[in-house]
Amino acid sequence: MNSFEADPTEPGAVSEPERLLQPVPEGRRITVMLAAFEGWNDAGEAASDALRYLNKLWGGKKVAAIDADEYYDFQFTRPTIRRTAAGERKIKWPSTRIFKASVPDSNVDVIFVQGTEPSYKWRAYTAELLVHAEALRVDYVILVGALLADVPHSRPIPVSTSTDDAALRERMDLEASQYEGPVGIVGVLGEVALLAGLPTVSLWAAVPHYVAQAPSPKAQLALLHRIEELLQVPLDTTELVEEADAWERGVDELATEDPEIAAYVRQLEEAKDTADLPEASGESIAREFERYLKRRGKDKP
């Protein structure tokens, strides 16, 4: 046992939360579905870019697709025309594609669901995704999203991790989402996956609303770090770290050119720094209260 680890058998010791991926018999693989959707659920395209990064890193191969004609309004989500490597013009239709990759030096396979949030038939769409999940023997689902928030670009990007699975919440020491209001396809897929009995976790990166345009490499990097923790696999993000640093420097320069924006960023930084002070943490408050009770006990005659 390392010197900094608490002995869980000692009175008052706090045990570490368990990992998402539970041990399996030797020779068996674990399959995790990672899903992100462009559109309403994807501020700065941080979520979909994070999955594209992993898919490329691990050499994902396309294994399935969902028919676009059934689920998309092409006047709202328009197809695009591009030139191929051979110079030919080709129309690219909105779609949902499913890839499979094996994480090197591990027993983890990843199913990537990448697409644009559909326009129609969300219940049929998510049911079709779960049919693919069953066929691909998915054990866990990680839903990835990004939202606009009042956070400063110059501080670490917050990533919230939540689940509506009571057993998973207790095992991993997670919170249930407290959000109430309109939901995107990520929220719908989360509920359907849970009803299907799949342990499901949602990740949401908070993207500074004053730099909402894509790309958002710092938010993308924050999501990748959280995925790395959940999957317990190392990720090479050196290139992305450099992009995130360059992005932050660029936003710094833009902010200095506008006094109002600069003042607003300072306000956000002060609020964030105050919230992060040790004396503001729940654990610290609990310790202080405990000390108060002890002092009060000593003062009694």
pLDDT, position 6:
42
184 and 39 Cβ atoms separated by less than 8 Å: yes
pLDDT, position 18:
84
pLDDT, position 266:
92
Prediction pTM value: 0.84
- The span from the first CA to the last CA of the chain, in angstroms, equals 44
* The two structure tokens encoding residue 171: 């095992």
What sign results for the dihedral spanned by CA atoms 283, 288, 292, 294? positive
pLDDT in tens, the chain (301 residues): 343 334 444 544 445 678 999 999 988 999 999 999 999 999 999 999 999 999 999 999 999 999 889 999 988 888 889 888 888 899 988 889 999 999 999 999 999 999 999 999 999 999 999 999 999 999 999 999 999 999 999 999 999 999 999 999 999 999 888 888 999 999 999 999 999 999 999 999 999 999 999 999 999 999 999 999 999 999 999 999 999 999 999 999 988 888 888 999 999 999 988 887 765 455 555 555 565 565 555 455 4
Tell me the C-alpha distance between 173 and 27, whole Å. Answer: 29
pLDDT, position 279:
54
Work out the widest C-alpha separation in the chain, in whole angstroms.
Answer: 91
